[in-house]
Amino acid sequence: MLRWCGISWATPASLISLFHWWSVWLWQPRVKVLLDPILLAVVWAVWNVRNQKVFDNKLVDWLEAIELIIAHVAFWVSSSKDGRDLTMDDIIFRIISVASAE
């Protein structure tokens, strides 16, 4: 997911550390409208996949999980007031150039 966004980054030690780092980071508005949904979609997908594995003994299909994350991000961003001007193609295929075009 980070590669999709063009981000090189070291993972925080805990989910609490991740959310704290995320909340204090001063993102540009256009970057924030794109990256906030990515963080939430990734956390939700990992939680969901983990529950499917633990409770349903379902094999983890990470490619499917990543595709679902991208679909959620595209839907959430295009549904937000700050992302209405973006097409699904902008979000899915040109996320790096869209984020840098402020």
Residue 4, pLDDT above cutoff 70: no
Tell me the per-residue pLDDT of 61-95, one tens digit each, with 9 for 90 and over. Answer: 988 988 889 889 888 888 888 888 888 887 777 77
CA dihedral 77, 96, 60, 72 (to 10 degrees): 10
Which residue segment(s) compose the domain that 78 sits in? 28-100
User: Is residue 13 one of the residues assigned to a domain?
Assistant: no
The percent of residues above 70 in pLDDT, for the chain, comes to: 75
Average pLDDT for the chain: 80
Tell me how far apart the alpha carbons of residues 68 and 42 are, in angstroms, rounded to a whole number.
9
Q: How many domains does the chain have?
A: 1
Specify the pLDDT at position 98.
Answer: 67
